[in-house]
Copies of this chain bind each other. A is one copy, B any other.
Amino acid sequence: MSFVHLFRRYLREQGLPVTQQREAIAEVVFNSPEHLSVEDIEKKLRERGERIGKATIYRTLETLVRSGLVEEHDFGEGFKRYEHLFGQKPVREHLICTECGKVVDMHSTELHRVQDEAARQQGFLPARYRLQIYGLCADCRAAGAELRWEGLSCPIETV
């Protein structure tokens, strides 16, 4: 149920002190299935009765990311979001609905393989990747939403 001991182990491995704040922040992140913003984390901590400064949250998240237990995301909202990597295979593919803003996780082994291949063909040695697909989610499509193009009437016709 709780994965905090993994983080504790990482801290010890690195010779870093295990503090109340670090454990509380890790617990909050590990117990949320969503992609959390720093503000979300702060709110959840307050709900638990913990009052931890933003600076500490940022600093702890940096450590969590470095430990490999948490991943940082940027969905172009102007701030970052954080997600733990337990449960299923690490999810690095996100479908982002341009209508309702919902973010759906996805995983495709084939996709992973093709990406890897393509990168290697360029002499590149891939380590991790991040894919964001923007479009309409199933719900919004069902509700009748449509993709809209507000750009040039005749997109890119190099005339």
Contacts and interface: CB of A to CB of B under 8 A. Distances in A.
B151 A124 contact: no
Interface string A58-71: 00000000111100
Given A3-B158, A126-B133, A129-B133, A119 B106 contact: yes
A124 B158 CA distance: 30
Contacts of A141: 123, 125
Interface in A119-150: 119, 122-138, 141, 147, 149-150
B153 A13 contact: yes
Candidate in A95, A125, A128 with the most chain B CB atoms within 10 angstroms: A125
Q: How large is the interface on A (under 10, 10 to 19, 20 to 34, 35 or more residues)?
A: 35 or more
Contact of A124 (B114, B122, B137): B137
Contacts of A49: none
A58 to B, nearest CB: 13
A111 interface: yes
A100 interface: no
Interface of A: 3, 6, 9-10, 13, 66-69, 72, 74, 76, 85-86, 90, 93, 95, 97-98, 104, 106, 108, 110-111, 114-115, 118-119, 122-138, 141, 147, 149-153, 155-156, 158
